[in-house]
Amino acid sequence: MILDNLHSLKFFLPELTLTVGILAVILCDIALKGLRNRLNPLLTVFTLVLAAYYTLQLNNVASASLFHGMLAIDGFAQFFKLLLLLAAVLVVLASLHSAELASVHQGEFFALLLAVTLGMVLLANSTNLAMLYLSLELVSLTSYIMVGYLKTDRLSNEASLKYILFGAVSTGSMLYGLSLIYGMTGSLNLYTIRDAFLSQGVEGVNQFTILLVLVLTMAGFGFKTAAVPFHFWCPDVYAGAPTPVTAFLSVAPKAAGFAVLVRFFFSGMSQTSGSQWAMIGGINWPLVLIGISVLTMTLGNVAALTQNNLKRMLAYSSIAHAGYILMGSVVLTGDGIKSILVYLFVYLFMNLGAFLVVTIIYNSDKTFEIDDYNGMFKRSPFVAVAMAIFMLSLIGIPPFSGFMGKLYVFGSVIDKGLYWFAAIGALNAAVAAFYYMRVLKAMLIEDGSGATAPLQVSFLNQALLVALLLPNVLLIVFWNPIDRWTAASVQLFGGV
C-alpha cells in the first residue's frame, strides 16, 4: 500500500530522530560553549540509540511504500537501518580517543556523522529515482567533508579533493543514466519503471540503450561500493582521511551502496519468474557482474600485496571484499541477497576492529607503516592478539565470523553451479592470506626495533576492542538467530 505524507510519519520516526539529532548537535555546539565537548558525543550516541529503538519498534510492520512512493518499509530496509546505525555508534565511540581528531574541533564532526547516517538510511530505502539521487548525494557530500576534516593536514585535503572530483563525475554520469531510464519509461518510481519495461519487452526499447544505462548507473553504484573500474579514489582517500572516518567509509557507505544496488536492480530492473530474477532486456547481466566481481577481487588482493602503509593495504582489502560481496549479487536469487546481508554484517565487525587497532597504535606511535608494527606483541599482547583475530577473520578462517560470510557467498554461487567462479573466489582468499599474515607476522614474531614501552590504550578503546572481538569470535556459536534474521530480511517491497 502506498501511504501519503501524514500517514507515513509514524513509520518515519528513526529518520526524524536523526534529523532532530543533527539540529540538536549543531545548536549544542553553538550555544553551550563549556559543556559541548562532553555533550556532543553523548547527544550523538543518544540520537543513534533512540533511532535504533524506533527502528526495532517497526520490526513487524507490513511492507509499505511511504511518502507517495519515495521510500519503502520492508525487512530489507530494517536490516540496513540497524546495520548502519550500529556502524555509526561504533565509529562515534572509536573517534572519541583518536589522536588525529583530537587536534580539531569536533562539534561539526558529530553533526556530519548523523547526517551521513540519515542519508545512508534513506539511500537503503529509496524507491524513487529522485530520492535515490538526493540521498546518494547527501551521503557523498558529507563524506567529502569528513574526509577533508583535518584541514591543516596535506594528505587529508588531497584525499578529499580527489574524492569529490571523482565522486562528482561518477554521480553525474549516474544521473545521466537515470534520466535515460526516465525517458524510456516515463516514470521515476522503481516499480512503475519495472512494469513499463516488462510490458514493453525487449523490442520496445533499444537493447544498446539499456546496456548504456546500466553502465552509467553502475558508475554511481560502483563508486559508492568501490568496485572496479570505479575504485580509483579508494586507496588515496582511505590513506589520507582520519582513521575513524576511513573505518566508517569502509563499512557503512559501502553497505548502503550495496543496499541501493540490490534494490535498484532487483526491484527496478528485473522480472520475477518463480524465485529467480532475470534482467530485463535479455542482457546477460549476471555475466557482467561476474566480470566486475572477479576484476574487483583480483585487483584488490594483488595490489594489497605490495603495500607498506597499513591503511592503504586495508583500502585494497576492502576493495577485494566488495568483490566477494558482488559474488552474492550474481546469483539473482533470494539466497544471493541473504549472502550479501550476512557478509556485510560480519564484515562490519572485522573491518572496524582492524581500523580501531590502527587508531590505537597511531595514538602512541604516530605511524601507519606495517614495519613499525614489529614486536607489538611484547608491548601489548592484548592489542596484538586482537589484531590477529581481526586479520584471521578477514582471511575467512574458521571459527571466526569472517568464515561464515565467505561460506554463504561461495555457497550461493556453488548452488547456482558456477564452480569455476567459486574457485576463483577461493583462490583470491588464499592470495589475500599472504598480506594479512604479513601484519600478523610483524606483530607477533618480528622483534621491535623502536620503542619498547608498553602501549597506552585508553579504557574506552579497550572496551571497544572487546566489543568488536566478541562478535568475531562468538557469532559462529550463536549463528542460528543471525541466519534467521537475514533470511527474514530478504523481503523487498514489491520485489520478492
Partner 1 sequence: MSVFDVLFCIVALVTVGSAAIVVLSRSLIYSAFALLFTFFGVAIVYVFLGADFLAATQVLIYVGGILILLLFGVMLTHRLYNLNLKTETFQLIPGMLIAMAVFTSLALAATQTRWKLVPEKSLEPTTEAIGKLFMGEYLLPFEMASILLLVALIGAAMLVRRRSDA
Partner 2 sequence: MIALQHYLLLSAALFSLGIFGVLTRKNAVNVLMGIELILNSANINLIAFSRYSSHGLDGQMFAVFVIVVAAAEVAVALAIVLTMYRLLKTVSLDRADTLRR
Residues that bind partner 1 (CB under 8 A): 5, 19, 22, 26, 66-71, 105, 108, 111-112, 115, 118-119, 122, 128, 130-131, 134-135, 137-138, 141-142, 144-145, 148, 151, 180, 183-186, 196, 204-206, 208-209, 212
C-alpha cell at 213: 544505462
Using CA atoms, how far apart are residues 324 and 339, in angstroms rounded to an integer?
Answer: 10
* Closer by beta carbon to partner 2, 176 or else 382: 176
486, burial (CB in 10 Å: exposed 0-12, middle 13-18, buried 19+): buried
Which lies closer to partner 2 via its Cβ, residue 48 or residue 237? 237
Q: State which residue, 115 or 440, has the beta carbon closest to partner 2.
A: 115
- Assign 396 to helix, strand or coil: coil
To partner 1, the closest distance from the beta carbon of 185 in angstroms equals 6
Q: Taking the alpha carbons of 310, 316, 318, 320 in that order, is the dihedral positive or negative?
A: negative
- Residue 200 as a binder of partner 2 (CB under 8 A): the answer is no
The three cell numbers of residue 254 are 559501502
Give every CB contact of residue 273 below 8 A, 6+ residues apart in sequence: none
Output 250 or 393, the one with its CB closest to partner 2. Answer: 250
Q: Toward partner 1, which CB reaches closer, 179 or 491?
A: 179
Quick one: which segment of 73-81, 184-192, 380-388, 411-419 binds partner 2 (CB under 8 A)? 184-192
Q: Which of 10, 50, 96, 162 is close enough to bind partner 2 by CB under 8 A?
A: 162
Question: Cβ of residue 76: shortest distance to partner 1, in angstroms?
Answer: 19
Residue from 108, 137, 195, 369 binding partner 2 (CB under 8 A): 137
145 binds partner 2 (CB under 8 A): yes
Cβ(315)–Cβ(235) below 8 Å: yes
Sign of the four-CA dihedral 222, 44, 128, 260? positive
Report the partner that residue 19 touches, choosing among partner 1, partner 2, none (CB closer than 5 to 8 A by kind): partner 1
CB of 133 to partner 2, least distance (A): 7
CA dist., res. 322 & res. 432, Å (int)? 13
- Taking the C-alpha atoms of residue 46 and residue 49, their distance in angstroms, rounded to an integer, is 5
Residues 212-251 that bind partner 2 (CB under 8 A): 235-236, 239-240
Please report whether residue 134 would count as binding partner 2 according to CB under 8 A. yes
Size of the site for partner 2 (CB under 8 A): 41
Residue 165 touches partner 2, criterion: CB under 8 A: yes
CA–CA gap between residue 314 and residue 308 (Å, rounded) = 10
Which residues 395-414 are close enough to bind partner 2 by CB under 8 A? Answer: none
Q: What share of the chain is helix, strand, coil (3-state, %, to 5)?
A: 75, 5, 20
The residues pairing with 98 across neighbouring beta strands, listed in sequence order, are none
Q: Is 141 in the site for partner 2 (CB under 8 A)?
A: yes
CA–CA separation, 144 vs 140, rounded Å? 6
Q: Which of 21, 75, 119, 148 touches partner 2 by CB under 8 A?
A: 148
Candidates 328, 350, 352; CA nearest to 338 is 328
Q: Phi/psi at 64 (nearest 5 deg)?
A: -150, 165
Which segments of 264-333 does DSSP mark as H helices, in order?
A: 285-304, 310-330
Question: What's the rounded Cα separation, in Å, for the pair 173 and 215?
Answer: 9
Q: Considering beta carbons, is residue 127 or 329 the nearer one to partner 2?
A: 127
Candidates 35, 172, 305, 479; binder of partner 2 (CB under 8 A) is 172
- The binding site for partner 2 (CB under 8 A) comprises 129-130, 133-134, 137, 141, 144-145, 148, 151-152, 154-155, 157-162, 164-165, 168-169, 172-173, 175-176, 178-180, 182-184, 186-188, 235-236, 239-240, 309
